[in-house]
Amino acid sequence: MDLKNNEPAPSELNRLVHLAPLEKVLNIARAHSLWPMQFGLACCAIEALMGTNGPRYDLSRFGYEVMRTSPRQADVMVVAGTITYKAAPFILRLWEQMSEPKWCIAVGSCAISGGPFVDSYYVVPGAKELIPVDVYVPGCPPRPDAVIDGFLRLKNKVLNPKVVEG
């Protein structure tokens, strides 16, 4: 088939082949294979993240269950728990070691805003003070369902980068 410039593709070809910008195709692949790096810092890591990954809630149904321990193998940092000023440089360093594109989910009140320890002299008032956060999962701790909802919101954000999630 010989298509000249500006010549519309035949309807048969249109029907069989979906042409899309490469970035859109890549985003579909990324959204369906997020590679999380869990940064468990306190109770939320156990109550929320481990529960989400366990057999009852089974995050693997969505394909996001393989928590990486290396930032070089991850594209989603999951910050779960209380961030102390002592731990802050490690979060920052690991975030910088993750390649682009990358996203962050803040799990629990502490990771969102410092939670019950916000007035403490040693607690960072939320992951957003260190790195850009894409999705916030509220709760102290959040239920595993809420963590799964957070992953699905991130999936939606990756698929539709221009849509602002609530």
Interface residues with ligand SF4 (CB under 6 A)? 42-44, 47, 81-82, 108-110, 115-116, 140-141
CB nearer to ligand SF4: pick between 71 and 108 = 108
CB of 81 to ligand SF4, least distance (A): 4
CB of residue 99 to ligand SF4, shortest distance in Å: 28
For the CB of residue 6, give the shortest distance to ligand SF4 in the complex, in Å: 58
SS3 annotation, the chain: CCCCCCCCCCHHHHHHCCCCCHHHHHHHHHHCCCCEEEEECCHHHHHHHHHHHCCCCCHHHHCCCCCECCHHHCCEEEEECCCECCCHHHHHHHHHHCCCCCEEEEECHHHHHCHHHCCCCCECCCHHHCCCCCEEECCCCCCHHHHHHHHHHHHHHHHCCCCCCC
- Nearest residue (CB) to ligand SF4, 41 versus 158: 41
Q: Shortest Cβ distance from residue 28 to ligand SF4 (Å)?
A: 33
Choose between 4 and 86: whose C-beta lies nearer to ligand SF4: 86
Q: Which is nearer to ligand SF4, 27 or 113 (CB)?
A: 113
- Residues 105 and 151 sit within 8 Å (Cβ to Cβ): yes
Closest approach, Cβ 92 to ligand SF4, in A, equals 19
Nearest to ligand SF4 of 89, 116 (CB atom): 116
